[in-house]
Amino acid sequence: MGLVFDAPLLGSLPSAYGFGMQANGVVVSGAAAPQGVAGRIMPSSRGLHVTLVEGDESPTPSGGIRSECYTQHQALAEVWIVADVMIPATWALRDKGLSVFQLIQTPAADAPEGRDVTMVILVAGDEFVVQVAGGTEASLGVGSRVAGSAKVSFGKWQRFCWHIKWAYDASGFREVFCDGVPLLREFSCATAYDRASNPYFKFGIYNFTGFSGFGVREALFRNVKIWVDEVVGYGRAMEALPIPGKILHIQQRKFAFDGKI
């Protein structure tokens, strides 16, 4: 399939198939998407300016306030995703966890409750924290685990890269890098829920943990690209080869769908 999403986000928003936004009680997609959401998701010459305000209305029935962009559903294949994010120095170190990136699925109506987020990257204190479900049969709220972390360089651009093979069984794998340093590397594992939509990528700010007292949070995003079923490679995706990191999580497990490991 190749490069399915390419959004520099410098002064404009894409009108790509499947792209949309959720913020302060509204959902915007299609022809209206390039206009953004006033005061919440706005294009700028520096990047996409995203703002979340405590007290915003939830844009979705599932609840939770957010100012997020979503992209089209991906095929169950090998995917590469890159995105740049800048967290301003105004973020408080006491923050318990606002997400800036999500990989998510929509569960079927008859699926077990909570089968949606498969991976989230939170800003918690002065760290980016990678959390994944304990298994693909459990959401982050049930049996979640921290799989890696990296320091936030406040006021500076940082690049994330995901390399994932979506699979319901042990044929899958997932890797996450921040500025070329590996935060998570898992192989021979299930990476997607069955009885759910195919995965899709979200970026923006979401009060994932539901904590109060954060007031206003802002962040900038740029250079979001998604390749599906194409040989991309680390150098092309990250524009650099991986750097050996202090945090390197390697695990080989098969997540069974009957709840047993």
Query: Residue 254 pLDDT more than 50?
Result: no
Tell me which of 23-32, 114-123, 147-156 is least confident: 114-123
Segments forming the whole domain that contains residue 188: 2-233+242-252
CB contact at 8 A, 105 and 118: yes
Range from 1-5, 214-218, 221-225 that averages highest in pLDDT: 221-225
User: Nearest Cα to 220, choosing from 119, 100, 59?
Assistant: 100
pLDDT for the residue 247: 39
Query: Residue 252 pLDDT more than 70?
Result: no
Buried b (16+ CB within 10 A) or exposed e, 2-13: eebbebebeeeb
CATH number at residue 139: 2.60.120.200
pLDDT for the residue 257: 28
pLDDT for the residue 115: 64
Residue 235 parent element (H or E): helix 234-238
Beta-bridged to residue 187, according to DSSP, are 173, 252
Answer whether residue 184 is part of any domain.
Answer: yes
Query: Residue 249 pLDDT more than 80?
Result: no
User: Nearest Cα to 218, choosing from 148, 131, 154, 127?
Assistant: 154
Q: Taking the model in full, what pTM does it have?
A: 0.88
Answer whether residue 258 is part of any domain.
Answer: no
Mean pLDDT of 131-156: 77
pLDDT for the residue 192: 85
- The Cα 130–Cα 123 span in angstroms is 9
Going from the C-alpha of 10 to that of each of 43, 46, 111, 143, 182, the distances in angstroms are 7, 6, 39, 38, 27
Positive or negative, the Cα torsion across 80, 219, 208, 112? negative
3-state secondary structure 58-127: CCCCCCCCEEEEECCCCCCCEEEEEEEEECCCCCCCCCCCEEEEEEECCECCCCCCCCCEEEEEEEECCE
- The Cα 225–Cα 227 span in angstroms is 7
Range from 58-62, 213-217, 218-222 that averages highest in pLDDT: 218-222
Q: pLDDT tens across 57-92, in order?
A: 998 877 789 999 999 999 889 999 999 999 999 887
Answer whether residue 259 is part of any domain.
Answer: no
Residue 52 tokens read as: 């979340």
CA 201 and chain centroid, separation:
6
- The Cα 66–Cα 146 span in angstroms is 22
Query: Residue 251 pLDDT more than 50?
Result: no
Answer whether residue 95 is part of any domain.
Answer: yes
Q: pLDDT tens across 187-198, in order?
A: 998 888 877 788
Answer whether residue 260 is part of any domain.
Answer: no
CB contact at 8 A, 133 and 117: yes
Residue 238 parent element (H or E): helix 234-238
Mean pLDDT of 173-193: 92
pLDDT for the residue 90: 87
Answer whether residue 132 is part of any domain.
Answer: yes
Backbone angles phi, psi at 140, to 5 degrees: -60, -30
Positive or negative, the Cα torsion across 87, 91, 92, 98? negative
What's the pLDDT band for 142 if we cut at 50, 70, 90? low
Report the number of distinct structural domains present in the chain: 1
Mean pLDDT of the chain: 85
